[in-house]
Amino acid sequence: MALREPIAPARVAAEDLLAFSGAVYEAVGLPRRDAELAADTLVQADLWGHQSHGVMRLPWYVARIRSGVVAAQAQPELVVDGGAVAVIDGHDGMGQVLAARAAEEAIARAKAHGIGAVAVRNSNHFGTAMYFTLMAAARGCIGFLSTNASPAMAPWGGREKAVGTNPWSWAAPAGTNPPFVLDIANTAVARGKIYLARQKGLPIPEGWAIDADGAPTTDAVAALGGITMPMAGHKGYAIAAAMDMLSGVLTGSSFGKAVTGPYQAERRGGTGHLMLALNIEAFQPLAEFEQRMDDYIAELKGVALARGVEEIVYPGELEARNEAANRRDGLTLPADTILDLLKLAAETGCKAPPQWTL
At residue 168, φ and ψ (nearest 5 deg) are -150, 155
- Catalytic entry in 53, 125, 234, 273: 125
3-state secondary structure 38-80: HHHHHHHHHHHCCHHHCHHHHHHHHHHHHHCCCCCCCCCEEEE
Q: b/e map of 310-330 (b: 16 or more CB within 10 Å)? A: eeeebbbbebbeebeebeeeb
Give the count of beta carbons closer than 10 Å to the beta carbon of residue 208: 21
d(CA 280, CA 110): 9
**Cα dihedral 344/345/346/347 (nearest 10):** 50
Determine contact, residues 241/154, Cβ cutoff 8 Å.
Answer: no
d(CA 100, CA 94): 10
Residues in the chain: 358
d(CA 266, CA 225): 18
Apex 32 CA angle, 125 and 9, nearest 5: 65
In Å, how far from its chain's centre is CA 189? 13
Determine contact, residues 335/8, Cβ cutoff 8 Å.
Answer: yes
Amino acid at 328: R
d(CA 43, CA 49): 10
273 is catalytic: no
Apex 306 CA angle, 300 and 310, nearest 5: 75
Determine contact, residues 281/123, Cβ cutoff 8 Å.
Answer: no
d(CA 107, CA 43): 24
Distances in Å between the Cα of 34 and the Cα atoms of 95, 133, 193, 348 are 11, 18, 26, 17
**Residues with active-site annotation:** 125
